[in-house]
Amino acid sequence: MNRFPLPLKYALPLAVLMVLMSIVAQLYLRPFVGEVVFLAIYPVIFLNTWICGTLPAMVSLLFAFFTVDYLFIGPSQSIGVYEVKDIIRILFFLLNNVLIIWSLHRMRKAEKESGEHLIQALDSELRYRTIVELSPHIIWFSDKAGANTYNNQTWYEYTGLSYEESRNFTWSKVLHPADREQLITTWMNAIQEIRPFEIELRLKRRDGEYRWFLARGKPILNELGEVERWIGKAVDFHEQKMAITTRDVFFSMTSHELKTPLTSLKLKMQVMEKRIKDQDETVQDLDQLEKFVESTLVNINTFHDLIDEMLDVSRITSGKMSYNFSPAKAKEIISNSVEMVSNQYATQKVDLLVQTPHEIDFQGDTQKITQVVVNLLTNALKYGDNKPVSIKLAKQEESLTIEVADQGLGIKAADQKRIFECFERIEGSKATGLGVGLFIGRQIIEAHQGEILLYSKSGEGSTFTVILPLKRS
């Protein structure tokens, strides 16, 4: 179809030639068709318009008009209109052919315009698709009932799902089970009420980790106001969500944990105040006074330690934790740490077995490593079911290991990674704590280019092993 109309330089002579041929045909047909002198011209003008274009067709019509007039109208071989019937015939002839040319011209123009529109539409569709595909966010489409029909590349890269697995509702297997119900309710309401929706949900990454997304959906309506399909976007806002959650947990945990020693301290002080007011003689008793001071100091120390932990977390999260790396002695660190927890162990009558065969020199921050060991020993006491605890120091070729083992309830495999995160505790833990000790410990050991390993089985106790390089690279 695109071959026509022909270029003007071919079209014009061809159009005239075709008219000439039709005139010849007309001459031969004359004995049969008599007065119908334009019969052969109509199809030729039609063909000319189609093949040669509007302008050559008009020229050929003009040529045909004069030729027909010259040969067939009035006295032969003269130009002019002589009778009324000739005027009418000529007018009809011209009118019909102009109509033929005009309608074909309009048809061609409309076709060209719609072709251009199609190209434009395809072009913008292509641009739009490229934008959608290149988006770092997940973009999806679904039919009016909410069944998935399209996902961009980001979706496939993130979830690792195949095209088939992403169709309809099967994609929901990457949705966190805890978010399923809320999503269904929100989306079904949006579908019913034909309005946009927004929801926070967790989607499983191809490596199995869930991340938080802020998902938004919007109905696309047709001219009748009916939903044609849904378009949606899901933006990964995991870090922001975590920061908000951490802040919330931080406030609730710290206020709760700080309140406990403070309330106890307040009570003791109130009792003391009353005794003084009542002029109770025991207030004068030095032994009683010493006991009182000792027990209040325990509360103050707990309070102090909690604030220290909070400060450490804030230093770590803001990247402001500073270290004093200098020559350090591992055996000494362990002896000091054991010394620091010995009172607590003695109070709870728990045996602590220490195996530190010889001194091991290494490069590190003595105070910070002591803090880690004390936390491990305190945890072994807190969660060790009052059974004996052991601490062992050993040297490998280029590293040293400190192993703290208890025989408590142990830690389920599912929790073993989590408890090293900030504010993570095992549900039902009776002992108090912020859930930050192991988090701080891991950060400190990693800053020393070492690692903390955990080996534990439910019901069989836990062994935490700190591995430290002798020299930092």
Instruction: Name residue 344's amino acid.
Output: Q
Find the distance separating the first CA and the last CA of the chain, reported in whole Å. 75
Query: Least distance in Å: CB of 345 to ligand ADP?
Result: 14
- Pick between residue 172 and residue 429 the one whose CB is nearest to ligand ADP: 429
- Pick between residue 227 and residue 426 the one whose CB is nearest to ligand ADP: 426
**DSSP secondary structure code for residue 197 in this structure:** E
Residue 178 CB-half CA count within 13 A: 7
59 burial (CB, 10 Å; 0-12 / 13-18 / 19+) is middle
**Of 161, 234, 372, 434, the one binding ligand ADP by CB under 6 A:** 434
Assess 411 for contact with ligand ADP (CB under 6 A): yes
**Of 53, 261, 435, 450, the one binding ligand ADP by CB under 6 A:** 435
How is residue 229 written in tokens?
A: 């399909």
**Of 53, 217, 433, 450, the one binding ligand ADP by CB under 6 A:** 433
Cα–Cα distance, 27 to 37 (Å, whole number): 9
Assess 438 for contact with ligand ADP (CB under 6 A): yes
Is the CB of residue 437 less than 8 Å from the CB of residue 424? no
Assess 379 for contact with ligand ADP (CB under 6 A): yes
56 burial (CB, 10 Å; 0-12 / 13-18 / 19+) is buried
Cα–Cα distance, 52 to 9 (Å, whole number): 10
Interface region with ligand ADP, contact rule CB under 6 A, candidates 43-51, 163-171, 182-190, 375-383: 375-383
Assess 462 for contact with ligand ADP (CB under 6 A): yes
Q: Which residue is nearest to ligand ADP (CB)?
A: 433
Assess 405 for contact with ligand ADP (CB under 6 A): no
- How would you classify the pairing of strands 462-469 and 451-456? antiparallel
- Pick between residue 24 and residue 413 the one whose CB is nearest to ligand ADP: 413
Assess 261 for contact with ligand ADP (CB under 6 A): no
Query: Least distance in Å: CB of 256 to ligand ADP?
Result: 12
Is the CB of residue 39 less than 8 Å from the CB of residue 26? yes
- Pick between residue 56 and residue 384 the one whose CB is nearest to ligand ADP: 384
Cα–Cα distance, 99 to 394 (Å, whole number): 105
Assess 408 for contact with ligand ADP (CB under 6 A): yes
Residues that bind ligand ADP (CB under 6 A): 375, 379-380, 383, 406, 408, 411, 419, 425-426, 429, 433-439, 462
